[in-house]
Structures are given as structure tokens and as C-alpha cells.
Amino acid sequence: SPWEPLLLLLRPPAFSTSCARCAKDRRRREKRAISERRLTRYFVDQRKVRVVGGQGGAGGSSFHSEPRKVFGGPDGGNGGDGGHVIFKADQQMKSLSSVFPFYQGFHGERGGSKNCYGANGAHLYVKIPVGTLVKEDGRVVADLTEHGEEYIAAYGGAGGKGNRFFLCNENRAPKLFTPGEPGQERVLQLELKTTAHAGLVGFPNAGKSSLLRAISRAKPAVAAYPFTTLNPHVGIVHYQDYEQVAVADIPGLIRGAHQNRGLGVAFLKHIERCRFLLFVVDLSVPQPWLQLQDLKCELEAYEKGLSERPHVVIGNKIDLAQSRINLPLLREQVAERVIALSALTGDNLEELLLHLRELYDTYVKTEKSQGQSPVKW
């Protein structure tokens, strides 16, 4: 047709004909680092939840009647049961921020005629992170430590009975039916304890966040003032054989942390789940071995035996002149292995990564020898 050349001009091209400078950038954009103040809205490790199970459906009340069978008798069916509210651990969830303060289970349907039972209410599943404690009145009722583990937080009510259920020789035409029972109502406290293989433990400004940024893709906030980290961060260290080791950056501890000083016990609980510990010591301060003693005392005061887990001492800030002087003094005072490195310049990070893999392999062998499955990321 005479309009065909014009249509070809108006039709958009199958590929971009613009220059490289004007073409659309299709590369993946890097995630921006979230500040600690904004991260507080996303990371929530405590939540109070009110759960109510679904109400059971009422029983039906009807009588069967058809031609040549006028008095067919009662045929009201039972009501359906209410649905449960179930907490389910999911390894994709990393915080309790998506958990709402109230959950109501689905109700059961009413019983129908012709002996038809009402449908049961569907169960309501609430996804929570792995490592969440469920408490009721301060008492632990569930500990969800594995992916896919479930806990019934509130049972649904039983369905009511229809008038067919009350048929007997003494009462051939019962009109009685019962309503459905209400669902169980509970107020539960959810408490998240970060599940990671290794935990970075140290005083404020020891360089824990900088070290986590150096060995993983995590981006915790870094600044030259204490208590920069207000929320636990988890970074993943990747190895060539596709093994992944999770390292948690615990906010800085101070003397008396077990007595709720500083950030208090709010973050000491996150160390409980760690299989081995990485004590980060600032080598530039005078007598750095005193930091290690104070850290072990705080962990031991919080939970007996916590400081005796497999661990290694990391002497950070080796790039400073005072740190090189204190390093041999630290090794004389400490019986454990000391790995000297610099998270800022990246010096000697390979030794830490190799030893971290040794601790992880030892943990995996120990779990398998005891017939348990190690935590995988």
C-alpha cells in the first residue's frame, strides 16, 4: 500500500540505534549503604504479638423433606473448625520488622443442610526468622532454630454440632444445634537471636565493622566515634568451594554490659547462637590484653561457658606504629593465637580467612559426628 513506507518509519526499532552515551544502562546498580538510624526501622529483634485462632463455624439446623418422604428427619451438618495461627521459621527472614502486632485465624464455615459439613478455616502461617524464641509471660514455649520448623501459636476453635448430631430415639426431631467455639487467644513475645557461625566481639571503635566490610559484602556504618553500630550485621564470607561462613558484627561491649550498661544485654543475646568467636582487640591502645580479659569476663558473667567456645584473638590496626610495639607484648600475655591485621589497609586478611575456614570445618565435623546437621547459609 502507499502508506507502508510511512508505517515503517513510525514503527519503533527492534534495537537501540542511539549512541553508547545515550543508551540505557542495563548493569545492576549497587545497593546503597543504609545508615544505622534508618536500619533501626528495618532490623527489629523483639516483637509483642497478640494471636487469636479462628472461630469454629456454627452447626446447621434443618430437616430433610422431599416428595414421598415428608418427614425425612434432621439433616443439619456440623460446622467447620477454625484455622490455627502458626509461626514458621524461614531462613529468608532476617528481622521481625515484617511481623504485625495482631493476627487472627480464618473462621470455619457454618454447617449446611443434607448433612453437609462446613469447611474448615485455613491455617494462617506467619514467617519469622530462624533463631527466634517464642515466650509467654517470660517463659520460653518454643525455640525455632531450623528452617521450616513450625509452632502453633493459637489453636482454632472447634466447629459446632448440627441438629443431626442430637438425633436419638427419645428425640426424633431435634432442633438443637451448637455454635462454634472461639479460637485460642494468647499474647506472645518474639525474641530474635542472630544465628551466625562466627561472632565479632570487641569494645567500641575496635574496628569490628571495618573488618566485616573488608571480608564480606556487608556495609555496616563506620565512623570515628563509639557505638557506631546499633544493630547486629551479618556478612557472608564466600570460599572457592562454594562454602559460606556467616560472620555477625555484634555492637560494641563495655565493662558492665551484663548489668545492662551501655547497650546492655540487648545484644549480648546475639552472641549465644554463634558457634565460634572472633575477639577483636585494638592494638593501638595501651595494654590491649586488658580488653581481652574484660571481654571474657563480660561473656562469662552473662552466660557461663560462653567465653570458652572456640575462638581466636584478632589484633586490629597493625598499620599504626604503636600497634607494632604492642603486638609482641600482647602475644606474651595471651596464650591463644593472635592474628595481627589491618581492616583499613587489608594487611594479613588472608590469614584470618584461612583460620576462619579451619574453625568452620571443625564445627561441621563436630556436628556431623554428633548426628546433627550444621547450620548452612
Sequential pLDDT tens for the chain (377 residues)? 555 555 544 554 443 344 434 433 333 344 455 554 555 555 677 899 999 999 999 999 998 888 877 777 899 999 999 999 999 999 888 788 889 999 999 999 999 888 899 999 999 999 998 888 899 998 999 989 888 999 999 999 999 999 899 888 888 889 889 999 999 999 999 988 777 888 888 888 778 888 888 888 766 655 444 445 556 778 888 888 888 888 888 775 655 544 445 455 556 777 877 888 989 888 888 888 888 888 888 888 878 888 888 889 999 888 888 888 888 888 888 888 889 998 888 888 889 899 999 999 999 999 889 888 777 76
C-alpha 161, offset from chain centre: 41
CA distance readout (Å), 352 to 33, 260, 310, 317? 25, 32, 14, 14
What CATH topology corresponds to 198-370? Rossmann fold (3.40.50)
- Nearest 10 degrees: CA dihedral of 319, 325, 327, 333? -160
The Cα 158–Cα 118 span in angstroms is: 11
The Cα 275–Cα 272 span in angstroms is: 8
CATH 2.70.210.12 in the chain: give the residue spans: 43-193
Neighbours of 278 (CB within 10 A): 26
CA distance readout (Å), 251 to 152, 201, 205, 260? 33, 8, 10, 13
Per the confidence metrics, is the pTM higher than 0.85? Answer: no
64 three-state secondary structure = coil
End-to-end Cα distance, the chain: 63
Q: In this structure, what are the phi and psi dihedrals at residue 333, rounded to the nearest 5 degrees? A: -85, -20
CATH 3.40.50.300 in the chain: give the residue spans: 198-370
Cell numbers for 192: 530474635
Pick the CATH number of 43-193 from 1.10.1270.20, 1.20.1580.10, 3.40.50.11440, 2.70.210.12: 2.70.210.12
- Beta bridge pairs of residue 315: 281, 340
Task: Give the per-residue pLDDT at 13.
Answer: 45
- Nearest 10 degrees: CA dihedral of 11, 14, 15, 17? -30
Q: Which long-range contacts (CB under 8 A, 24 or more apart) does 267-271 make?
A: 267/232, 268/298, 268/299, 268/302, 269/191, 269/193, 270/45, 270/193, 270/194, 270/199, 270/232, 271/199, 271/201, 271/299, 271/306
- Beta bridge pairs of residue 86: 125, 152
Q: What is the DSSP letter of 346?
A: -
Task: Give the per-residue pLDDT at 89.
Answer: 92
Neighbours of 266 (CB within 10 A): 15
